Structure 1
Amino acid sequence: MGLSTLGQAAGMFAVTNIDDLVLLAVFFGRPGSAWRVVAGQYLGLLGILAVAVVGALGAGLLPGAAVPYLGLLPLFLGLRAAWQVWRDRGADEGGDAPEAVGVLQVAAVTFANGGDNIGVYVPVFTVAGLGGMTTYIAVFLAGVAVWCAAGLFLATRPPVARTLARWGHLVLPVVLIVIGLSILIGGR
């Protein structure tokens, strides 16, 4: 596989994961979460890739009709986060720092948010063959590192960091709920 495949893989990763940048910035804005976000992002992508590879190899693990239901994961997590914000609404403003996100929480959101990507990856992997599929997977795994660096960069910019510190507890539930609903409604 040549540079053409590398470029196609990089372009496909960027296009299918652009929405992750905002989510990553929000996750990285939570104190003490950096390694958990990176680990969760990789774990979620590995789940997406595993399903896409199995699908490309003909097992048909995830039928197209099931993809929209992946939106239930971020929707549930968003509603849970919103409940926590509502429950803590009267708490002291100078109280505890926001809770760090967990690896499995990030992985679940990444997997659910990437559920529609499976529909793109399966036919491409099928046509690319084993060698091409390996190249795509390697590029996607490298892409996660780039995406995490970009999300961390955004989260650490003073204006973004101030905004996340002030409003991040509200932004996370909204982003997760919007992602969940968009997957549920926009599914096939």
Structure 2
Amino acid sequence: MKNSWKGMLPFGVLMLVVSCCYKPHTLVDYSFVYAFNLQYEEETTTYQMNAPKVSDTTLVKGFIQDHLNFSIPGVLIRISNDKGEEVAEAESDFDGNFGISLLPGTYVMETSFVGFDTSEASFDLSKNTSLGFRITMGRDGSLTVCEVHSKRTLTEMELTEIRRCIERTNDQHNEFYPNKYCGTAEYFIVVQI
């Protein structure tokens, strides 16, 4: 019982650091508010299909990326037959890859992911062949709404710099933390995607 406080020490230090350093943003401290929208142009989704290869199994596989050649994990891939019935479904893995075993036939592949176009491609699959796809997904022209809360009046040049920083942060596929990349002690940014 004598040394029980030692187990609590890291927790106590953490609480002290959080309570000393955390200051929530309030509109009283940040009296100037600027709002603007960032509209992204819609991009086209493209499908590149490799020549069929002889295989032990009848397989469709592929790699999914965006226009900056970054892989996109978690893309939903739905396969429908020529009657429009869904026959298979998969998701791209962490590296953007997917693979689906199918019977020979004519199919339509649909790819969808939040913030990107939903699109389709048709293909025929013969027995003991594999088809490889390289899919480049286009953004859907999404709208980002931003608010900048500031302690002082910001110039048009500062607001333009903030917009560019937010656009770069989005385009680099970093997790979206604009305060980390675009904020200062003078202002903070609220973003709604």
Give the TM interval when normalised to the shorter protein: under 0.3
Higher relative contact order (CA 8 A, sep 6+): 1
Q: Which has the higher helix share?
A: 1
TM-score, with length taken from structure 1: 0.27
Say which one has the larger Rg. Answer: 2
TM-score, with length taken from structure 2: 0.27
